[in-house]
Amino acid sequence: MPNKIKILFLCTGNSCRSQMAEGWARHLKGDMVEPYSAGIETHGLNPKAVKVMAESGVDISNHRSKNVHELMHINFDYVITVCGHAEGRCPIFQGKTVRIHRGFDDPPKLAAGAKSEEEALMHYRRVRDEIRNFVLQLPDILER
């Protein structure tokens, strides 16, 4: 079996979007990719992200928020930035690493004005599903 494609999903705080992407990649594409996630900073794991992923049958509760510098020793095939802030501040990776940007809305920011927990979770669910649809296209979409 060929080596798995090593992918780092990178966002600002590694609390929500990149965690969801890592979780989906492990769940849906674990036979093809070796996913990681990290942030330019660390903001802790977002409980609402954990909750909406669990609703879809993906447990990310054991993930932890990591700073990208913790993973610089790994030879990634791809680094996928999932927010504009990370795209602009993405460090340089050694070797053959290809950087791709695929931005997603920030659920905590969208949910900030929510009038109820359910309304807030709707934002998380939408972004969760958008990330799932992106991950479903891996690794094919990386070659485009």
Q: Note the pLDDT of residue 1.
A: 47
The per-residue pLDDT for range 30-86, each reduced to its tens digit, is 999 999 999 999 999 999 999 999 999 999 999 999 999 999 999 999 999 999 888
Quick one: average pLDDT of 7-21? 97
CATH architecture of 5-139: 3-Layer(aba) Sandwich (3.40)
Active site residue 11: yes
pTM: 0.95
Q: Note the pLDDT of residue 144.
A: 62
Which among 10, 60, 83, 120 is annotated as catalytic?
A: 83
Burial class from Cβ neighbours inside 10 Å (0-12, 13-18, 19+) for residue 71 reads middle
Which among 90, 100, 110, 111 is annotated as catalytic?
A: 90
3 state DSSP class of 81: strand
Active site residue 16: no
Which among 11, 21, 45, 50 is annotated as catalytic?
A: 11
Mean pLDDT of the chain: 94
pLDDT at 24 over 80: yes
Active site residue 90: yes
Q: Note the pLDDT of residue 2.
A: 67
Domain boundaries defined on the chain: 5-139
